Amino acid sequence: MEIVTRPVPETGLEVDEPLLRRIYAARGVRTALEVDSRLAGLHGPDKLPDVEKAASRLADAITAGEKILIVGDFDADGATSVALCMLVLGAFGARAVDFIVPNRFEFGYGLSPEIVVLAQQLNPDVIVTVDNGISSVSGVAQANEAGIDVIVTDHHLPGPVLPAAHALVNPNLHGSDFESGALAGVGVAYYLLGQLRSELRNRDWFVARGIEEPNLAQYLDLVALGTVADVVPLDRNNRILVKQGLARIRAGRCRPGIRALIDIAKRSLPRLNARDLGFAVGPRLNAAGRLEDMAIGIRCLLAEDLGSARQLASALDQLNKTRQELQAEMVDDAQVLLAEKELIDAGAGVSVYHESFHQGIVGIVAGRLRERMHRPAIVFADSGDLAPDELKGSARSIEGLHIRDLLDEIATSHPGLLIKFGGHAMAAGLSIKRVHFPRFSRIFDKAVRDKVSDDMLMARIVTDGSLDAPELTLTTAEMLARAGPWGSGFPEPSFHGDFELVSQRIVGEKHLKLVLRTGGSVVDAIAFQQPPLEEACKSVRAVYTLQPNEYRDISTLQLVVEYLEPLP
């Protein structure tokens, strides 16, 4: 494993703390304004495509008492988007609002024609898609034929043909001038609802109906959760949304469902950070959509009291435990299959399928394979009764390879091979015929070989360099925690260094608790999912983050070790 220090360009950044100045500069921050987290720093909605048209149609629907139906996606971003729309539209005085979320095993993704048929049973006048819809050409066409207006809110990259919706609200449409294409689906929905509030205000709706105009900041807990869970880049705009949402959560001003999920994940509410949202809260919410029905997760987010929220959070926790067990089995099976095909080291782009794989977990497994092999990875599973001769795949890429664009090139050069596809630079989904899997595997591997260099396939860890012993303090850890949020595109500060190994022991059956020494300072550390080192080991090289560790209301410093190797 190669450990590389992130380069630090020269800037005029005025930050008092030298360590923080170095970390910010390495992430492209040039001025203090770029880390200003006040809501006033958010980009305005005026450049977001079709946002005014969509808001006007929704305002018409609310004032006329029309039925609005929210159609969501089956992940955490989709769930928070649905909950946000349900709550805010209700607070605006909408009298008829409902939602449906496609069961991925029965209906597949997005506003499909089958979902429109299901939606028609609820007699909507307007359908609003959240975190989906930009590729739903046939579904929107069917809704139009049925006399239902469709407002698409999405953030996924558009295909060559756009749906003929009443409005397409997506920062990533071709020709869009909106300053942040990194918005998650819940961020796009939040912007639309803000524009809708302005439209209703201009129509004197709130005053005429005696409705106190809602403060949309009170819903930022949902926006923060969906944004982090969807692993979109934390550009400045998203960092503001997440930081403000986290501040509300830490102060206890969050939805009962979010509080229940935090509690069952055994996280500290006052110290909650973006990592907790991404690795503890988000996966429990996602488990519903992966294994059963995301409606469970949405009901948890919509719960009005902590008691009912805790019951739903407990059900989500059990689903997440089942997901973890299935995931571990699938990762092991996938590695065996790849080893049998001699692709563990030889393949540039790896793809794997087995009839036992669960389609709700293929994305996570692809991510694990990508991490372990440092190769773009696609994991396929049977599509099920919806399309019994098809496979659904989920792809995860490496830095420097835009996976959605690569799939587009494959689809263009091999017509008919991909039934459909979509996604982002680092993650994508696709469908192929089962009979085409061997051919696709060869084509995908070659396409990756043509795009990447040997250097790109080299496993490396990028850190912020080393810390001197006096910097290994709780004060440093708390400073870094306050300086976030950290996440995709704005990585949490990590460091590397050599330590004397004072002691080691296994805790929680599979985690390694360490005591390390450097420069006369002794510090606690923990390495998750790490087997013990040999007894003869006297020193180690570690890549780590600094985290405050709370025990019996006492905070101490703990290094969370991301990579560990014994030194000779």
Closest alpha carbon to 397 in 380, 372, 377 = 377
Structure tokens, 417? 């091979």
94-105 pLDDT, tens digit each: 999 999 997 776
Rounded CA separation 151/58 (Å):
9
**129: Cβ contacts below 8 Å, ≥ 6 apart:** 70, 71, 72, 110, 111, 136, 150, 151, 152, 153, 154
| pLDDT (0 to 100) of residue 339 | 83
Domain residue ranges of the chain, discontinuous segments joined by +? 39-217, 341-451, 461-566
> What count of other Cβ atoms lies within 10 Å of the Cβ of residue 13?
17
36-56 pLDDT, tens digit each: 999 999 999 999 999 999 999
CB 366 within 8 A of CB 379: yes
Structure tokens, 495? 């460091």
> What count of other Cβ atoms lies within 10 Å of the Cβ of residue 288?
28
Q: What angle do CA 227, 229, 231 make, to 5 degrees?
A: 75
Rounded CA separation 28/17 (Å):
17
Rounded CA separation 173/515 (Å):
52
CA distances from 543 to 27, 204, 482, 526, 540 (A): 18, 57, 21, 11, 10
CATH code, 341-451: 3.10.310.30
Cα torsion 156, 162, 166, 168: sign: positive
> What count of other Cβ atoms lies within 10 Å of the Cβ of residue 341?
13
Query: Residue 108 above 90 pLDDT?
Result: no
Higher-confidence residue: 510 or 167?
Answer: 167
pTM score: 0.92
Coil vs helix vs strand at 555: strand
| pLDDT (0 to 100) of residue 344 | 54
Mean predicted confidence (pLDDT) in 220-235: 96
Rounded CA separation 141/91 (Å):
31
Q: Among residues of the chain, what percentage have pLDDT more than 70?
A: 99
CATH code, 461-566: 2.40.50.460
Dump the DSSP string for 215-229. Answer: -GGGGHHHHHHHHHH
pLDDT confidence band for 185 (50 / 70 / 90): very high
Sheet containing 68-71: give its strands across: 97-100, 68-71, 126-130, 149-153, 167-169
| Interhelix angle 295-302/256-264, nearest 10 degrees | 110
Q: Where are the alpha helices (DSSP H) in 130-281?
A: 137-145, 185-202, 205-209, 220-229, 236-250, 256-264, 274-276
39-217 architecture in CATH? Alpha-Beta Complex (3.90)
Structure tokens, 248? 């509300």
Query: Residue 509 above 90 pLDDT?
Result: no
pLDDT confidence band for 206 (50 / 70 / 90): very high
Largest interatomic CA distance in the chain: 78
Structure tokens, 294? 């995301």
Higher-confidence residue: 105 or 275?
Answer: 275
| pLDDT (0 to 100) of residue 345 | 55
pLDDT confidence band for 342 (50 / 70 / 90): low
Structure tokens, 56? 């006007």
Strand partners for 352: 379
Structure tokens, 203? 């129509």
Q: What is the mean pLDDT of the chain?
A: 94
> Residue 498: what are its φ and ψ, rounded to 5°?
-100, 135
The reply to whether 341-451 and 461-566 are identical in fold is: no
